[in-house]
Amino acid sequence: MATFIDKTVNGLKSLLDHKGTIKLFGSEGDITESQVTFPNYGASADDIRSFESKYSISFPEDYRLFLEQHNGARIFDIISDGKNIGGGLRLSSLEEEMGYVELFEGVNGIPTGHLLEECHLMIDKDRLDRGDPNYLYLFEDGLEYKPLNLNFEIFLDRYIICQGEAFWEWTYRTAENYYR
């Protein structure tokens, strides 16, 4: 039986051309070309257990499943004049996460990736320890640590549905402030 993560990732993959690119429809009719890449391997169960032991964390099931199947991804990198210029969402491999953990001393979270330049997607250890399913946070510019009130699979699904747009900020877009 396909899981939520499987359905989301496989649905996106089915829309990619042979180069891993996709045309996206953005706000105000903007059409862009983006690239999506998933590695052809997953993290081993032993590597995941070793990471969890080293950093005193037990990954949530949805995120562990993603690592086992894909061990990272780049979703909606911008293609400009035929070149990949980055952007989008970069989900870290387990090896990359090991390098990032030390950068976030004083933040009780585990970085899972980054997006929108200086934003990092984090699994909050306190929420995870309490069994709170809304464990995902955004750490912006190294200053603001704000809850997304989501888990990993819902975040990934919404990010893909919204074609890389910052859907978590949409509640702030009203007719009054949209044009400012």
pLDDT recorded at residue 145? 83
pLDDT recorded at residue 4? 92
pLDDT recorded at residue 143? 75
Buried b (16+ CB within 10 A) or exposed e, 77-109: bbbeeeebeebbbbbbbbebbeebbeebeebeb
Q: Are 70 and 39 in contact (CB under 8 A)?
A: yes
pLDDT in 10s for each residue of the chain, 180 residues: 779 999 999 999 999 999 999 999 887 888 989 999 999 899 999 999 998 998 888 899 999 999 999 999 999 999 988 898 888 999 999 888 766 666 666 677 888 998 876 788 999 988 998 999 999 999 887 678 889 999 999 999 999 999 988 888 877 666 666 666
Phi first, then psi, for residue 113 (nearest 5°) are 170, 180
pLDDT recorded at residue 54? 86
Domain ranges of the chain: 4-163
For 35, half-sphere exposure in the C-beta direction (CA atoms, 13 angstrom radius) is 17
Q: Are 113 and 92 in contact (CB under 8 A)?
A: yes
Nearest to 165 by CA among 73, 41, 75: 75
pLDDT recorded at residue 99? 65
Residues 44, 14, 150, CA angle at the centre, nearest 5°? 60
The domain defined by 4-163 carries CATH number 3.40.1580.10: yes
**What span, in angstroms and rounded, lies between the C-alpha atoms of 86 and 84?**
6
pLDDT recorded at residue 165? 84
